Amino acid sequence: MSMDFAAVRQNLFPASHGAIGDWLAFHWHRDRTNRIQAHKVHSSQAIAIDVFGTLKVSIDRDLVLDAIARRVGVAPGGPWSLTLEWTDPDRLLGEPRPTQVDALAVGSNAALVIECKFTEPGGKCSQTAKSRSGEAQCNGSYTDQVNPHSGMRSRCTLAGKGIRYWEFIPEVFSLNPAGDYAPCPFAGEAYQWMRNAVLAAAIGKHRNLQAAAIAAFADHPNFPTARKAKRSLIDPSLGHPAAITPISYQEIIDIARQVGLDQELWTKLSAWLDEKIARASSRSTKGVVTIE
């Protein structure tokens, strides 16, 4: 086993290791040098595996996921499957590179699309970033415009590329795809939460299941997503504020301790998370760059 994997294993809750399967084939988050990032204490992938990897292999999986389903307003009912780093094989949103979901839970009645955050904020749409030519593909508004790179006319440059977000947005948000919005309601961090919410809607429609999007986060005042979760991840003026439900890792562990049978497991995981969050918080106050 490489030094990378030795360090990664040390940074993962021991009970979660069995959820990985093939460590070489697993979709690890990597940096620009291709080094696996999950060995770092503030890795969002590592803390996601801590919690959802442990849940995946736990005897309490169905009980806990039933409770989470009720918490987010969809129907419980197992048996539940739980997949880490899931990528949509059906390309339901028409993305050239399908969104990789941190965790996907599927039961007999519902599906849960789970985006996991630790010390980092939500991701933003890349279309407003300037290219080497100095031009952005989108002007930052959802209005009729021409993509200077492709010459394609559309309100959303992603829609002009065949990406289907705005086909599902009316099902999730109170927005008219034929209307104009300046600036675009998903120009900032709301972009990532929108993308997960519409993916949940697409999965639900495709599989004939109820579906919900969840933002799992480490609850600490030093972390951007935690601060936003206490207010709202999505602007309430867009309608349907529950389009994506924030649930802290601490709350997930509390749920597991309330309904689960393996109390020793959840007590140990709770202590593991408390220590990891404390260490990551200490690093964030020193200006350490956050990673996903």
pLDDT tens per residue across span 130-185: 888 889 999 999 999 999 999 999 999 999 999 999 999 998 998 999 999 999 99
Tell me the pLDDT of the chain averaged across its residues: 92
158 in Cβ contact with 127 (< 8 Å): yes
Residue 64 backbone dihedrals phi, psi, to 5 degrees: -70, -45
Give the mean model confidence (pLDDT) for residues 267-289.
83
Q: What is the pLDDT of residue 1?
A: 42
Helix (H, G, I), strand (E, B), or coil: what is residue 97?
Answer: coil
Q: How many CA atoms lie within 13 A of 104 on its CB side?
A: 18
Which of 130, 129, 126, 159 lies closest to 142 in space, CA to CA? 159
Shortest CA distance to 278 belongs to which of 42, 110, 100, 56? 42
Task: Flag whether the pTM goes above 0.85.
Answer: yes
Which among 81, 13, 6, 86 has a CA at the least distance from the CA of 249? 13
